[in-house]
Structure 1
Amino acid sequence: MHPFVYNANPGRVIFGPGSHSLIASEIQAMNAGKALVLATPSQSEAAHRLSDQLGELSAGVFDQAVMHVPIETAKAGIEAADKMNAGCTIAVGGGSTIGLAKAIALETGKPILAVPTTYAGSEMTPIWGLTEEGVKTTGRDPKVLPRTVIYDPELLVTLPDFITGPSGMNAIAHCVEALYAENANPIISMMAEEGIRAIGRSLENAVKQQEDIAARSDTLYGAWLAGASLGAVGMALHHKLCHTLGGSFNLPHAEVHTIIIPYVTAYNTLAAPDAIGRVAKALGVEKSEDAAGALFDLNTAIGAKMTLSELGMTEADLDKAADIATRNPYYNPRPITRESIRRLLDDAFHGRRPNVDQ
């Protein structure tokens, strides 16, 4: 057993069908005053409906959350929370909405009640991200960790297949990265492996049988473990590439994670054989060298987009992306070179089946 340090993140989790009915009582229990309901423009109607249901517990609605949390949106959200005298926020939605709640908490300390409606996992991490002038910056601060998280699979039965699939793969990517993190430890590794197993066995059904509550529950359970895993350990190459592609090229967050994770898994297989071996085991394949292919095949099974070109990236962007991703690299078990990352991005751009790089 290698020496390790394990830090448990605080937080309250409520899991199960129908648990969204507890939002009002959980806001009262937080004892932080009225709540500002946050949403994206597309979820504005649902946010106003929740605000109406909360009555005097609601301070109002701010429905301008967008992906990658532009600094301008964060400032507008902070101003809205102050103007409406909100003491806390409710983030009902995916990573964009929860990311905005974190930006508000980072600046003001206002606690968060998170009710995820995707499988992003951000609700379980103390990680925040802000994008300014095309560059996404991330950091960690316990202030942004939601005070309470309500996981209700009933809220995800209307999640379209084209969102469900990439969102689930985003969660798997968190688990994969946690297994070979610089500060990985056996507790988090158990959680990460179980997260991959839970999502791997359920995601295709969640995509193809939209109202399958059992599949939705398993995928949501895996996403919880994924977020908790990512929140407890550091990030590596996969997240650096995704932050680069999302923040600097405005590519959709979950779809980028979906496309990139098989290639980073292949890239790190020989440098982290035990970690990638656990990925393989969780996905039901025998050898660590097969893990990247299993992830690629799962992407195919759920009908995900398989190439960066499908997301709107151009071949001319690849050099810039490689430069940004290798300028200030995150820790990674295999050394990072500009040439190797440029080659990885080219494979992801064209959607070639990943090969373990010797």
Structure 2
Amino acid sequence: MEDKRYWLKNRLLINLGFVPKLFGYTDRHLYLLTNGKLKEYTSGVEYYFGITLKGTETKPEQFPRALTENGVIRAIHAPFSKDSYPYPFLRRIKKIGIKTLYQYIRYRIIARADGNAWHRLPKAIEIASSIGAEKITIHAIDIILAPHARRLFRELNTLGKKRRLMISLENVPRYPSDQKSDKSEWRIAHHPVELIEYLKKNRLDAMKLTVDTAHLAASGYDVHEMWKKIKQFTGHDINSAISHFHLADYDAENDFDAARLGDGVIGLETFRALINDLYHLHYNGTISIEVAPLYFQKKIKLISHALKRVIMPSEVNLLEEEEYLLGMIQELLD
């Protein structure tokens, strides 16, 4: 059996989420991170569509050549378009009051892609394949809420097979209070076991899951217990159902789903146990640590820093970010 650290290195991807370019980090910085100390612990990046104020990319040549030509982008996240779930008018007013800056930026500033999933998702799959990615993460709810959803599932599955690209469907957070009024078919968007069952039942063999731990916690699930259910349902053959993980903790007090591992309700021991399980189950997919970069976490200064960088561009020191990520990786291996 291969060494655990070597096993993790071959699966672990750097993931700065959607925020880098908006707040000081560039594609060059991302490339530099992959070739510094993190090179000993990671094997590429998970890149996001549409992480600039200009909107989402529409052709392969718009992606950074340093990343595409060196095969650094192993996974890519499909573009955002709007809030994942529909909300009644009164609920929307309430959300304005409680929404964090993180969520507002995510869904209102960078969600610049085509709102029509029939247009947006096939195009994203074509581009992801063209730049050499192995897989694309798509929010499951984006397909479920689309017109003629069952047909879209089949169309995307066929396209994934044609382009030899794994489609990894991500569970999206849904607060327990909101689940009470949901349609029954929406449940598979936040419940991994039911999504696995749906994919198998409908023979969608080019689709597996991206399991997002923070999204599970935000949806009211105990991550440790849900993981046990996933293992039981798959007969411990997790490679048949899961191709990617987003590891992040959930800060319930601030409703923040990109907290440092161990700084939320999930806890570091749960993440360590998960990694250990994946190792012993011979998991052959990929894993991203999807926590917010340190620079982004200074929420109060985000806007002023962004404006300052436009007026007075300056070099970003990545050493602190590098050590931050290294610390989390090493804690997982302890």
Q: TM-score normalized by structure 2?
A: 0.30
Structure with bigger helix share is 1
Task: Work out which structure has the larger RCO, using CA pairs closer than 8 Å and 6 or more positions apart in sequence.
Answer: 2
